[in-house]
Structure 1
Amino acid sequence: MMFRAYRRFVVVAYQFLPLLLAYARDRKRFVFFGGRRQVSSEVRRARARSLLSSLLTLGPTFIKLGQLLSTRPDVLPSEYIDEFERLQDDVPPARWDAAKAVVEADLGPVDEVFETFDDEAISGASLGQVYVASVDGEKVAVKVRRPGVEPLVEADLRVVRWSLPILMRFVGQARSFSLETIADEFERTIREEMDYRREREMLVEIRENFADNERIRVPAAIPELSSQRVLTMEYVEGTKISDVEDLDGLGIDRTELAETLQRSYLQMIVQDGVFHADPHPGNLAVRDDGTIVFYDFGMSGRVDPFIQEKIIEFYMAIAAQDTDAILDALIEMGTLSPEADRDVMANIMELAIADARGEDIEQYRVQQIIEQVEDTIYDFPLRLPPNLALVLRVATVVEGVCVTLDSNFDFISVATGYLREEGLIEQSARDFVADRADEVRQFGESLVRVPPKLESTLDDLDRGNVTLKVEFEPDERTFDVLAKRLVLAALLTAALISASVLYAFATTTTAAVALALATLFGVSLWRSFRRRRQGIDAQPQFTRQRLREREK
């Protein structure tokens, strides 16, 4: 195992080293010294494509790592996120004889357990592959973990751990912390995804949550024909949800289909607390009667009640175009630092909402808003809670599928309509009315107070009794620093000129003495700029979060 890990480490280093050196050059122009250099979006996108190619070359573990990174805008720039979102877990299946050995080791002889078994896989993924069989006259889908994937994953997890200290030297302190948390999250996630017992539990729970919904179909699991490496479930056919021409041929209302899909994910995230987390078109199908079928629950997650509440507040804030409420929700969810400049962030939110409106002012594109937020999160940068990062990813993918079905799909209208029908925004509505009533009361009080004060002030102006006094209190320390820098600059200039003259007309020794003095003055001047305590530091703005902390 260790030898395999060492060998994989060399292969991984060979793939990633050129990009790491390029990133180091960006931070320090000449790697060991010099300033930063600006990198254009085109260069970042080209590097992202190169990194994507490396992930595909390295195989299953790193494909999964890329999929996880595509949900973490706090670690990667938007160009990398865009490229990694294209990672589809679609690879050629392993040979049948190797897969058959896995099935028979866990369930028994294939010919005895199943009536029929088609040895041609209908789909292949990085960690598993799916076959069609039959039991008691009914077709079933049999998902088998890829043979030999366990030792490869274990070796790659070791490589990831060994690589962390090296990566830390190439990135800033904030992202170093994020990378370490991602490594922990990745190890947990990939182990969970290889355990088909967990996938079966999530499938059963989500199926029960939609038991009364005739528009949603989740295949039933067959526990007696399932194990840690094999998952058998009912086989449910359907048309791929992105095949709009086939859907039109079936006479299916695509707008209604998009609304059903969106409402199902809202139910999973803000009500049930457990959700299918890989909603790309390959995992969504539509039956002839318009029922949506969900496949592959290997990637799934849970949402705690606090985050559910904040997600509801976030949706309502976007619908109301209330940038302060949007920022408050992001801060309380942990996606935005309370120290962030609220004015800058509010401007970004306003631009994102305006850009998302389209021709109809009531139309929004949540995917565009989230992308704007992700860009800002990367710039700060921050660490996203793992499950919340997954929720953001799900929201963007689902919205993209809905827009494919209906280019005029109104995400916010559907979301607010659903939340209102389920009684999840009644309290928010009462709060809104209370806030507006308080504003009206304050406005009324101001109307009563202002006229007398205004009349008194105008009388004083008319009589010439008003004077304006402006005082400027200089910071003596700041002026002392500026004076010191001017003196040092003058001495440095004089010493350099003297060294040049002495070198030309006197001895080398005297010129060296003048040059040494010039060096001393130059170092002193450089240090005066390096001392942070002598500069003017910006302080974080007062935030609602701090106000709440004071009130506690």
Structure 2
Amino acid sequence: MVTLVNLRAYWRFVRVLHQFLPLIVTYARDRRRFLLFGSSRSVDPETQRRRADRLLSSLLTLGPTFIKLGQLLSTRPDVLPPAYIEVLTSLQDDVPPAPWEEAKPVLEAEVGPVDEVFDEFDHEAISGASLGQVYRATYEGDEVAIKVRRPGVEALVEADLRAVKWLLPILLRFIDEARRFSVENVAEEFDTTIRQEMDYSRERRMLVEIRENFADNDRIRIPRAVDELSGNRVLTMEYIGGVKINDVEALDELGIDRSELAESLQRIYLQMIIEDGVFHADPHPGNLSVMDDGEIIFYDFGMSGRVDAFFQEKIVDFYIAVANQDIDGILDAMIEMGTLSPDADREVMGNVMELAIADVRGEDLEQYRVQQVIQQVEDTIYEFPLRLPRNFALIMRVATVVEGVCVTLDPDFDFISVATEYLTEQGYREEGIKQAVESAGDQLEETARSLVTVPPKLDEVLGRVNRDDLTVEVKLADQHDVLDQLAKRITYSILVAVGLLSTAILYSFNEAPEAAAVAGAVTLPVGILLYRSLRRKKGVKARPQFTRQEMRRRRGDE
């Protein structure tokens, strides 16, 4: 069995390499025109979109596993440029279901003979996805939906994961150092995520937990799981029908207030992330429906996540800072969440945030959308780059998709006002004098703590100096590779000097003209490199990462 899996993995590796190698080489040539040397190439947005379309085509060609990979990449602006994110966001996990004859053994292995267990069973799947498909049936008089893992998908996913693992070292050779962390992080996350999505027992546990969290909330409806008919490869739950949440005309016919519906959806997700710490992470319109009374139905908990208490606190800080237009607060929250390096240029990042907020701000300073703020931040993540922890990437995706659904329901929907009201109601956001007094009190407490702790620490340092036991580590910041250029010039000069001297000695003795010619031939390329190095313009060659003019240029290109 292991041998068969390995053989399949080898074959899949060849197919994956065949699909991705042209894109990898193209990307590498953007950094070095001739792969091993040469200047970098600038790529306009239109070219990026064409490449993104080719990537999308490759993912679809490679099948279910890589469709999931594409969906994951669409949440990672720290890995791909904005043009790729835009294209991959449209990637839907909607593929034709496998024939009933192939799915039946999987179902019966988990629940028993279909004809004996169910009162009625419709053999035509009502939906199909890359990892599973859903059927309707009747069980003990109640309508149920049965989610069945796609036949044979385990072996395919296992082979594809091995192929991705083998491809990763090749890919890392062609990308810059700053991007390697994010790429390795995505590979690890993908392995974990797709295994979780194939485990329907985990999905059932997440469904049950989220359902319990909203037991007293009449704005949300989550199907009840049928435990006795569920397992690792099958999930049975009550069937609840409704109108798709983006079917505006049908909602209007039902007389549903779409503004209230949008606010309810936003508040539900705020509770999941900020209060409960467990959230449904795939809120596209296919997974959200509305009942006649306005309740929102949630489907498909395969993609879901958790948020620990520390991260919840920092997300609250981030939301409050955005609501207050507090640039320093936004940057501090991002640093504490691990999405921004503490060594990042705060002035540059502050300009990014100011421009992002100013760009989406209307005449009324409170009217701007968090989706647009997040989009502007995402556009800069790839260039700086920032690091996105898995849960934060999911949360950013959730915030963007949810706000898109809300704006479809109500074009005037204002996320900030709803989030601000929610945070204030829950006691997270205190305004006016109380907030100022608390801030001043915190600063006074910090000052008092410093007065107590600094003298002992200073005394300890002076003691170590007196004992000659003080080690000082010095890190030299050379962001523009000035020292590296200087070292190259010195090395080239030494090699040229040695080469010229050797050539002259060999030629003067006139006993080894061939050796003199070889020494001269070897010295000549080094001399050319030295000449080119000295011909470069003086000063540091640096391209500003973000300027107002660059923002206008990029928008003009778009």
TM-score range (shorter-chain normalised) is 0.7 to 0.9
Deviation, structure 1 residue 424: 2.1
Find the counterpart in structure 2 of residue 314 from structure 1.
Answer: 318
Find the counterpart in structure 1 of residue 256 from structure 2.
Answer: 252
Find the counterpart in structure 2 of residue 165 from structure 1.
Answer: 169
After TM superposition, the structure 1 stretch with the greater mean CA deviation from structure 2, 331-340 or 205-214, is 331-340
Task: Please tell me whether the aligned partners of residues 335 and 377 of structure 1 are also in contact (alpha carbons under 8 angstroms).
Answer: no
Letter in 1 for 2:6: M
Distance in structure 2 (CA, Å) of the matches to 1:119 and 1:520: 73
Deviation, structure 1 residue 514: 10
Deviation, structure 1 residue 429: 7.8
Deviation, structure 1 residue 191: 0.7
Distance in structure 2 (CA, Å) of the matches to 1:132 and 1:43: 45
Distance 1:517 1:283, change over 3 A: closer
The unaligned stretches of length 5 or more in structure 2 are 444-481, 501-512, 544-558
- Provide, for residues 184-205 of structure 1, a one-character-per-residue CA deviation record: whole Å limited to 9, x for no partner: 1111111111010000000000
- Provide, for residues 277-318 of structure 1, a one-character-per-residue CA deviation record: whole Å limited to 9, x for no partner: 000000000000000000000000000111111111111111
The 5 A counterparts of 1:23-422 are 23-422=27-426
Deviation, structure 1 residue 418: 0.7
Distance 1:536 1:173, change over 3 A: closer
Deviation, structure 1 residue 521: 5.4
Distance 1:93 1:521, change over 3 A: closer
Deviation, structure 1 residue 269: 0.2
Distance in structure 2 (CA, Å) of the matches to 1:428 and 1:26: 52
Distance in structure 1 (CA, Å) of the matches to 2:535 and 2:189: 42
Distance in structure 2 (CA, Å) of the matches to 1:134 and 1:384: 44
- Provide, for residues 385-421 of structure 1, a one-character-per-residue CA deviation record: whole Å limited to 9, x for no partner: 1111111110100010001111110101000101111
Distance 1:305 1:524, change over 3 A: same
Greater Rg by CA: 1
SS at match of 2:382: helix
Distance in structure 1 (CA, Å) of the matches to 2:519 and 2:168: 48
Distance in structure 1 (CA, Å) of the matches to 2:524 and 2:432: 68
Question: TM-score by structure 2 length?
Answer: 0.80
SS at match of 2:387: coil
Distance 1:512 1:173, change over 3 A: closer
- Provide, for residues 13-66 of structure 1, a one-character-per-residue CA deviation record: whole Å limited to 9, x for no partner: 121121112112111112222110101111111111110111111111001111
Deviation, structure 1 residue 109: 0.3
Distance in structure 2 (CA, Å) of the matches to 1:516 and 1:134: 83
SS at match of 1:301: strand
Distance 1:239 1:326, change over 3 A: same
Deviation, structure 1 residue 377: 1.6
Find the counterpart in structure 2 of residue 14 from structure 1.
Answer: 18
Distance 1:220 1:529, change over 3 A: farther
Deviation, structure 1 residue 371: 1.3
Question: TM-score by structure 1 length?
Answer: 0.81
Taking only aligned residues, the RMSD between alpha carbons, in angstroms, comes to 3.0
SS at match of 1:131: strand
Distance in structure 2 (CA, Å) of the matches to 1:416 and 1:196: 36
Deviation, structure 1 residue 68: 0.9
Letter in 2 for 1:84: L
Deviation, structure 1 residue 236: 0.6
- Provide, for residues 255-292 of structure 1, a one-character-per-residue CA deviation record: whole Å limited to 9, x for no partner: 00000000000000000000000000000000000000
Deviation, structure 1 residue 336: 1.0
After TM superposition, the structure 1 stretch with the greater mean CA deviation from structure 2, 191-200 or 6-15, is 6-15
Deviation, structure 1 residue 131: 0.6
- Provide, for residues 79-108 of structure 1, a one-character-per-residue CA deviation record: whole Å limited to 9, x for no partner: 111111111111111101111111111110
Distance in structure 1 (CA, Å) of the matches to 2:31 and 2:350: 29
Distance in structure 2 (CA, Å) of the matches to 1:515 and 1:276: 67
After TM superposition, the structure 1 stretch with the greater mean CA deviation from structure 2, 356-365 or 115-124, is 356-365
- 2:8 matched to 1:4? yes
Letter in 2 for 1:388: F
Distance in structure 2 (CA, Å) of the matches to 1:24 and 1:190: 28
SS at match of 2:246: coil
Deviation, structure 1 residue 122: 0.7
Distance 1:62 1:525, change over 3 A: same
Deviation, structure 1 residue 515: 9.6
SS at match of 1:379: coil
Distance 1:519 1:196, change over 3 A: closer
Letter in 2 for 1:374: E
Letter in 2 for 1:234: E
Deviation, structure 1 residue 357: 2.0
Distance in structure 2 (CA, Å) of the matches to 1:161 and 1:516: 41
Find the counterpart in structure 2 of residue 463 from structure 1.
Answer: none
Deviation, structure 1 residue 358: 3.4
Task: Please tell me whether the aligned partners of residues 110 and 229 of structure 2 are also in contact (alpha carbons under 8 angstroms).
Answer: no
The unaligned stretches of length 5 or more in structure 1 are 440-476, 496-507, 539-552
Distance in structure 2 (CA, Å) of the matches to 1:518 and 1:145: 65
SS at match of 2:136: strand
What is the percentage of aligned positions where both structures have the same residue? 66
Letter in 2 for 1:302: R
Tell me the matched-pair count. 477
